[in-house]
């Protein structure tokens, strides 16, 4: 009798990593483990005032060991020996400079505390100037290298970040040999790659963020890159010309990593991709389905057949890449730079008296004080939600844009700021919060409308992530604003589940990602139907949102 086969999917988010151990036959999750990055949790290497967000590679390594060993410890004895594959998804674009061995510079003693030698997280917006220069040059070059990336290059992406760091840090500039994305480094680490040239490059990462495309022979030309700035000279030659889809094996676990993780060297390591792209597979994406991965930000994913896509170039999105989601289809990516982060920002505003006043009070003992602060902090969003959802749409008069962290799509502009209007002396915290929830829904509608205006058909919506599962108010508002049903994936670990599907495919358990997805899907927990009356009212308010957005963008206050 054949033994059961298991795979491990690892999902690296902005704040934490999680590992799931999954049965390849049924998709059942045997165990889940989550680890918050220790250095990131302390705010190290970040400077929010200048939008600098860096992560140390040791956070990734430690989270890998912690989550995998903890998840396996929850499983029946011997499960580790039955694991046949492992796969990673990560945030992106999250690049880092390496030496010639492919080692991130921050792992070298002389760079261990240098933020510029670390992974530059997706939400780092320090490269706004560099992104503008890339757009300016691309739109006047013989080849527009932004054509398959929505026509607008973002400060959240590969080349803008690389150029910014090289300009800012002479020591890193001297030591940098190559560049690696987080989703490429993890498979390389586990398979013992010791040359930068041998790192298997992610079709997903490179196609969406590094302007890689077969049409122009891979990456932008050396002439283009050095015209941007001579500091980029030589990188193209030392990087790559080919990329691979994530369903293909990269190699096997090295003996060292097999021992460290409690696995065997028979484990196949799959190629890496971005969290939302694997999450869309975990949610069971098919053509004409709009998958919203909802977290601190959103990433919106679609797939299209070659025939239906034809020669379309969708303006203002985060790219269209052959095989970035499902091999054999064109993957389309869009998203919002702030979603859950918008709510978290408002929560922090309301917490100010707790942290600045109550925390210093001498009226109560320290233990009671700490309990009061924690209890209040935990109840802010639930209390706001309970009151906000009582407000009729027609009385929801406060209006906001969702650009507190800039705008990803449609039409990337990370210089934009959020706007709130129609505030009166009678505006309450729940009314303000409702406006923010509506703003994030309007941002999603803008993306849907852009896809449709560009000839991309959308029939249904799937929401995945913690907010999708935990906030009926947010999801019902989204359904009403979109005027479309919204299904919610039945797992809060859809990205890790998607990674496990790629692991199962790379290990040969399934011939294609589609087959793995069908067999291992988690199904749906709930489906929200739009309220016709609310949808009609929101259609009118959405026009006001567009007008407010136009004024905000034109004025750049």
CATH of the domain at 414: 3.30.420.40
* Assigned domain for 376 exists: yes
Question: Cβ contacts of residue 156 below 8 Å, gap of 6+?
Answer: 93, 122, 123, 124, 125, 209, 337, 408, 412, 414
Q: Give the number of other Cβ atoms within 10 Å of residue 194's Cβ.
A: 10
Torsion of CA 215, 216, 220, 226, to 10 degrees: -160
- Start-to-end C-alpha separation, the chain: 69
Other CB atoms within a 10 A radius of the CB of residue 310 amount to: 10
* Higher-confidence position of 285 and 295: 285
271 assigned to some structural domain? no
Sorting pLDDT into bands at 50, 70 and 90, what band is 1?
very low
In a domain, 549, yes or no: yes
In 3-state terms, what secondary structure has residue 408?
A: coil
Q: 441 lies in which domain range?
A: 340-490+526-555
User: In the chain, pLDDT over 70 holds for what percent of residues?
Assistant: 99
Query: Is 218 within the bounds of a domain?
Result: no
Residue 79 has pLDDT above 50, yes or no: yes
Cα dihedral value 450, 452, 457, 459, nearest 10: 90
Q: How confident is the model over 314-327, as a mean pLDDT?
A: 96
| Pairwise CA distance, residues 515 & 512, whole Å | 5
pLDDT of residue 296: 86
Q: Is residue 96 part of a domain?
A: no
Rounded percentage of the chain residues whose pLDDT exceeds 90: 96
Residue-level pLDDT at 318: 92
Q: Region 212-224: what's the mean pLDDT?
A: 97
* Residue 146 φ/ψ, nearest 5 degrees: -90, 0
Strands (E) in 225-283, as ranges, are 249-252, 268-270, 273-274
Q: pLDDT averaged over the chain?
A: 96
What pLDDT was estimated at residue 557? 64
Integer Cα distance of 491 and 33 in angstroms: 14
Residue ranges of E strands in 426-551? 460-464, 486-489, 524-528
Q: Considering the domain boundaries, does residue 485 fall inside one?
A: yes
Quote the CA–CA distance of 291 and 281 in Å, as a whole number: 9
3-state DSSP call for residue 532? Answer: helix
Q: What is the pLDDT of residues 470-523, one digit of tens each?
A: 999 999 999 999 999 999 999 889 999 999 999 999 999 999 999 999 999 989
- Concatenated DSSP letters for 144-175? -TTGGGTT---TTSHHHHHHHHHHH-HHHHHH
pLDDT band at 235 (very low <50, low <70, confident <90, very high): very high
Residue 2 has pLDDT above 60, yes or no: no
Name the domain count of the chain. 1
Question: Is position 470 within any domain?
Answer: yes
Give the pLDDT confidence score for residue 555 in this predicted structure: 85
Could you tell me if residue 175 is inside a domain? no
| pLDDT tens digit sequence for 37-63 | 999 999 999 999 899 999 999 999 999
- pLDDT-derived band at 461, boundaries 50, 70, 90: very high
pTM of the model as a whole = 0.92
Q: Which tens digit of pLDDT belongs to each residue from 143-199?
A: 999 999 999 999 999 999 999 999 999 999 999 999 999 999 999 999 999 999 999
Q: Virtual CA dihedral for 177, 183, 187, 189, nearest 10 degrees?
A: 50
For residue 322, the cross-strand partners are 330
Give the per-residue pLDDT at 269: 98
pLDDT of residue 474: 98
Rounded CA gap, 145 and 154, in Å?
13
Per-residue confidence at 115, pLDDT binned at 50, 70, 90? Answer: very high
């Amino acid at each position: 009798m054949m033994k059961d086969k298991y795979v491990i999917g690892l999902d690296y988010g902005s704040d934490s990593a999680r590992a799931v151990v999954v049965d390849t036959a049924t998709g059942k999750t045997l165990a889940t483990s989550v680890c918050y990055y220790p250095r990131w949790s302390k705010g190290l290497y970040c400077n929010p005032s200048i939008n600098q967000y860096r992560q140390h590679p040791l956070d990734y390594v430690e989270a890998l060991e912690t989550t995998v060993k903890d998840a396996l410890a929850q499983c029946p004895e011997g499960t580790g020996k039955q694991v046949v594959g492992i796969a990673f998804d990560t945030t992106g674009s999250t690049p880092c400079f390496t030496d010639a061995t492919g080692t991130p510079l921050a792992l070298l003693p002389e760079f261990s505390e240098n933020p510029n030698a670390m992974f530059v997280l997706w939400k780092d917006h320090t490269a706004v100037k560099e992104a503008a220069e890339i757009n300016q040059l691309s739109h006047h070059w013989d080849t527009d290298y932004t054509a398959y990336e929505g026509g607008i290059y973002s400060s959240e992406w590969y080349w803008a970040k690389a150029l910014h760091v090289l300009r800012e840090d002479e020591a890193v500039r001297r030591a940098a040999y190559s560049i690696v994305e987080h989703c490429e480094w993890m498979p390389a680490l586990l398979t013992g790659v010791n040359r930068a040239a041998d790192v298997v490059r992610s079709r997903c990462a490179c196609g969406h963020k590094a302007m890689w495309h077969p049409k122009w022979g891979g990456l932008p030309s050396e002439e283009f890159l050095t015209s941007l700035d001579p500091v980029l000279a030589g990188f193209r030659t030392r990087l790559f010309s080919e990329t691979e889809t994530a369903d293909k094996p990269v190699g096997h676990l090295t003996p060292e990593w097999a021992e460290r993780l409690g696995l065997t060297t028979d484990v196949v390591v799959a190629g890496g991709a971005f969290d939302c792209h694997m999450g869309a597979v975990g949610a069971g994406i098919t053509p004409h389905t709009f998958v919203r991965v909802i977290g601190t930000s959103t990433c919106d994913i679609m797939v299209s057949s070659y025939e239906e896509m034809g020669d379309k170039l969708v303006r203002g999105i985060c790219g269209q890449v052959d095989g970035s989601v499902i091999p054999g289809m064109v993957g389309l990516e869009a998203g919002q730079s702030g979603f859950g982060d918008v709510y978290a920002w408002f929560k922090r505003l309301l917490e100010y008296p707790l942290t600045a006043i109550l925390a210093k009070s001498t009226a109560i003992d320290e233990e009671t004080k700490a309990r009061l602060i924690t209890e209040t902090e935990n109840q802010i969003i639930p209390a706001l939600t309970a009151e906000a959802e009582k407000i009729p749409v027609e009385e929801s008069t406060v209006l906001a844009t969702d650009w507190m962290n800039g705008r990803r799509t449609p039409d990337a502009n990370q210089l934009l700021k959020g706007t709130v209007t129609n505030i009166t002396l009678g505006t309450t915290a729940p009314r303000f919060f409702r406006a923010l929830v509506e703003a994030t829904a309007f941002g999603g509608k803008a993306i849907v409308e852009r896809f449709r205006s560009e000839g991309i058909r959308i029939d249904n919506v799937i929401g995945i992530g913690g907010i999708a599962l935990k906030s009926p108010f947010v999801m019902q508002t989204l359904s009403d604003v979109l005027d479309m049903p919204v299904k919610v994936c039945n797992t809060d670990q859809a990205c890790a589940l998607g990674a496990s599907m790629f692991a199962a495919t790379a290990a040969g358990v399934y011939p294609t990602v589609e087959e793995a997805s069908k067999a291992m899907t988690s199904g749906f927990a709930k489906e929200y139907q739009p309220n016709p009356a609310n949808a009609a009212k929101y259609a009118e308010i959405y026009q006001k949102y567009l007008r407010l957005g136009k004024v905000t963008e034109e004025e750049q206050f």
